Amino acid sequence: MKRLHFMKLSCAEAEKVCTKAEYKEAGFIEKLRLKLHLYFCRTCNDYFHNNQKLSALLKKADIKTCSSQEKEVFRNKIKNGTSKDF
């Protein structure tokens, strides 16, 4: 059992790995440790599934944002607008 000690993961860590996994940036060992933790921990398991749902929603919503260059254009326009007024 002692050899398996390195597989242990606290809940706080598990949540972090969970978030990482949603962005596909968790390593293989991390994912393995997470799976093991989820197997025993009900709370984290729920959290994991909610997190997946959130990702699905975010993907479904397909939010479009303006790029930073476009924002810079807006900013300049507003600046010029204000300087004209005052």
Partner 1 sequence: MEANSINPEKWVDRYADYLFNYTIVRINDREMANDLVSETFLAGLNSMKNFKGEASERTWLISILKRKIIDHYRRNNSQKGQAEVKMQFRDSDNEGDWLEERVADLSLMTAEDEMENHELGLAILDCVDQLNEKQAAIFKMKTIDGVDTETICNEFEISPSNLWVIIHRARTSLAKCLEKNWF
- Give the interface with partner 1 as residue ranges (CB under 8 A): 15-16, 18-20, 22-23, 25, 50-51, 54, 57-58, 60-66, 70-71, 73-75, 77-78, 81-82, 85
Choice between 3 and 60, CB closer to partner 1: 60
Q: What is the DSSP string of 8-58?
A: ---HHHHHHHHHHHHTT---HHHHHHHHHHHHH-HHHHHHHHHHHHHHHHH
Q: Which two tokens stand for residue 80?
A: 């010029």
- In angstroms, the CA 7 to CA 37 distance is 9
Choice between 32 and 73, CB closer to partner 1: 73
- Min dist. Cβ of residue 23 to partner 1 (A): 7
Choice between 2 and 59, CB closer to partner 1: 59
- Min dist. Cβ of residue 28 to partner 1 (A): 17
